[in-house]
Each structure stands twice: as C-alpha cells, then as structure tokens.
Amino acid sequence: MAEFDVDLFVIGGGSGGVRAARIAAGHGAKVIVAEEYRMGGTCVIRGCVPKKLFVIGSHVQQEIEDAAGFGWIIPEVRFDWPTLVRNKDKEIARLEAAYTTNVERSGAQVVKSRAVFEDTHTLRLATGQTVTAKYVLIATGGAPNHGAAIPGIEHVISSDEAFHLPELPKRIVIQGGGYIALEFAGIFAGFGAVVTVIYRGDNILRGFDEDVRKHVRAEMEKQGINILTGCTIDKVDKHGREFITHLSNGSSIACDKVMFAIGRHPNVANLGLEKSGVAINPKNGGIQVDGWSKTSIDNIYAIGDVTHRVNLTPVAIREGHAFADTVFGNRNVAVDHATIPTAVFSLPEVGTVGLTEQEARAQFSQVDIYKAVFRPIKATMSGRDTRVLMKLVVDCISDRVLGCHIVGDSAAEIVQAVAIAVKMKATKADFDATFALHPTAAEELVTMRTPSARHVREAAAE
C-alpha cells in the first residue's frame, strides 16, 4: 500500500501550478490540482489575458483617428461596452476549458475545491475529504490590495471588478502608478472615458528607467490622461451615482468610478499554513522560499506571486517547470531571476529588459547610454503628436549591452527578441554589426552609433 495518496498536490490552478502539474505528471508522478475558483488563475481569468484584450480594443479609436491621414474616410462609429465584456467572457471561458483539458490530458487530476493544510503532508478539501501527498506545491497567486482602509473604501473597485462593469464609466479616477493602474488608464481613455491617475510618488512607474518614466508620463498626458503625483485619495463620498474623491492635497474630483491599483498581496490567508509550519517572508509577506522554490518545510514548495518574488506569469511558469524537473525529473533546475523582460501595456506601450541606467551606473564603473527619441513613420502621415523612445545601456569596458528600454507601438514585441541578445551577453558591437531592417522603429537599436551620455564613476579616494 502506497504511503501517500498522491506524489504531488498542487494548491492553485493558475499558470504556474498548471505547468508544474503537467510536467510532474509527464515525469510519471501522480498529481492532483485543487482550484477553488476557475482554472487559469489571475492571468487567464482576471489579469494578463482579459487586460490585453481590452487594450487591443481600446486602440481601435486611435486607429480610426489616424486613418484620415492615410486617405480613409470613416463615418461616425459607435462603441458598445457590453459587447466587449461579453466577447471577452467567451474567450476566457474557452481558455479556462483548455487549461482544464490540458491538465487532465497530462494525467493529472483536477479537483474544483479549496484545499487547506491539516499537516505537512495532508490536505483537507471543502467536501471534508482529506488527501495525503508526498510533496505539496503552493501556487495560490496574489490578490488586489487596497492598502489602509479609508472612509468610503467600500465604493472602490479593483482590476477584478473592472473586467465586469455593466457599463463604461464616463469619468474614472485610478489610484496607483504601476502596471495595472497605467494599463487601465489607457484602456478607459481609449474607450473615451475621462481618466485621472493619482499616485503618491514623484512620478509613475517606480523602479523603471527614469527616461522611460518621464517619456510615458508625457505621452499619456498628450492623450488627455490627467496624472496627479505626490498625493493620495483620503476619502470617497457617494452622491447618487456619482463619487467624490477627496485628495491629500486638499482638492477633490467628481467621477463615476474609483479604482485602486496600488499593489497586490500574496494569497497566504486561510490555507492552514500554521499547521504546515511553512514560514512567511517578513520582508514581503509572501511564502519564504530558497533558490529551488522550497519552503521552510522540506516537502512543501511555493512558486509564483504567492512568494512575492517577481510577480509575472512567465516567471511563475518557469518556476513551476523547474520545480517539477528538479523534484520529479531527476535533474536540478534553478531559475535565474536576472534579466527578465517585462512589458507595460499602457498608452504608449513599454518594453524593457536588463538594467536601468541608474542600476548600471551603481554596478559598473563606466556606462555608455545610447538614446533616440523620434517621431514614428506612421505619425508623419496621421499627424499624431507622439514620440518613440529607444534606449540602450552599455558597459563601456566590456561593451556588453546591459539593458534595453523601449516606449512606443509594439515595444513588448521588440523587446522579447532583444531579450535573447541581452541574455546571451551580446555586445554593442554585435548590435552595430547587425543589419538594420528598414523602415522600422526597431532599426534604431542597431543604428545608434554615438553615445548620448557617458558616465565614469570616480575611484574612491584611498
């Protein structure tokens, strides 16, 4: 008789948990995946995928406006928000079914239930049934965090609710300055809403390259998005169907919806972690793990947003795959969290990989900056007032390209390819030796010959 019911019990049916389950099953493990809500997790159900669909839809109005410069005469158009939401729901349902099918085809079992720890090897389902597992993987992701409670917090929505609004708000106030806040600012503005972004810091996109932060803000403001920094929302009043947001600077803004996108917290509550002995990282509130995604308990692992390391879907997938290969595939695979490309599907789009200028200057003694800001070819005919930013950060001594930062149309698509070169430690000479693909915006990456800035750090006095 087997010592355990299964070899692996995965808590959470998101991208990371599903990848781990499929790979482990492929290695011959007996696997159960427990998901209390919908298979696919945050990314598929209420994150990356529906967000990108909304982003694509929001760009149509801009395409219509730009078409006139190319000779297109388009009669008055009308946008229907409920149709967008309905069609998005159909696509998400299709993807959810595909996730379930793919897990089951791999040989793993899907259980639609919440699972909590009874001890280090035992999980209890909502039905009361218990399952014992040799290994347990926690992949429960994260959830929106509204921060400290303020008067009227019950009137505030998160990105979760934004995907299911019955109608498009004519005016919306969004608090936050990161990925989610800026992406939804662009979405609502693209569909015709009046958008105000409130952020407590001195500028949006904290942690990104300073040139990127400045460029994105300037371009968003050109699109009519109002960005107020250095303040927060202290109170929200409701008057009929209208809301009044009261800001810390003493001003107030009337709107139809108030959305908070100020961060996410790891889903660690009510999992019975106290019975498992799994430790929480005191610095970030996520589950504490080592370089192999192992928790403080030898047979329990955690991946993805619940660890609060790098909260990106491809990272969770890579961590899940590495875990399964290591534990069930008889080969040790560690995840390298350096040089992770990332994108912000804002208006305009951001794609970035590697070090920012500030990070490079702190780590390397001599840094060259190559930067181009230019009007894209499409704008020369459409008449749109917009600029593209291309930036390379280079170690002057080794000539290695340390970082690439792009703001403009298709920035993420371009950076995905550039990330390969950066990961391979390509040099600026390698970029220079590459033929330009003309006429494109991306050709600037291989035609910038003269540094726009050179930074040499003075040696410390002896």
Catalytic residues: 438
> 184: alpha, beta or left, given left = phi > 0 and alpha = psi -120 to 50?
alpha
> What is the rounded distance in angstroms from the CA atom of residue 94 to the CA atom of residue 81?
20
User: Among 423, 434, 384, which residue's Cα sits nearest to residue 400?
Assistant: 423
The rounded distance, in Å, linking the Cα atoms of 262 and 267 is: 16
Helix axis angle, 81-105 to 15-26, nearest 10°: 20
Helices (H), 353-432: 357-363, 377-382, 411-423, 428-432
Alpha-carbon dihedral angle through residues 75, 80, 81, 84, given to the nearest 10 degrees: -90
Helix, strand, coil % over all residues of the chain, rounded to 5: 35, 25, 40
The neighbour count for residue 109, using CB atoms within 10 Å, is 15
Cα separation values, 29 from 2, 32, 132, 316, Å: 13, 10, 14, 20
Q: Which of 423, 391, 427 lies closest to 408, judged by CA?
A: 391
Contacts of 188 (CB under 8 A, 6+ apart): 58, 168, 169, 172, 174, 195
| Rounded CA separation 67/450 (Å) | 35
Tokens for 229?
């920094």
Give the separation between CA 102 and CA 18, rounded to whole angstroms. 9
Contacts of 132 (CB under 8 A, 6+ apart): 3, 4, 5, 6, 121, 122, 123
What's the CA gap between 161 and 190, in Å, rounded? 19
Rg (alpha carbons) of the chain, rounded to whole number: 24
H/E element holding 197? strand 194-199
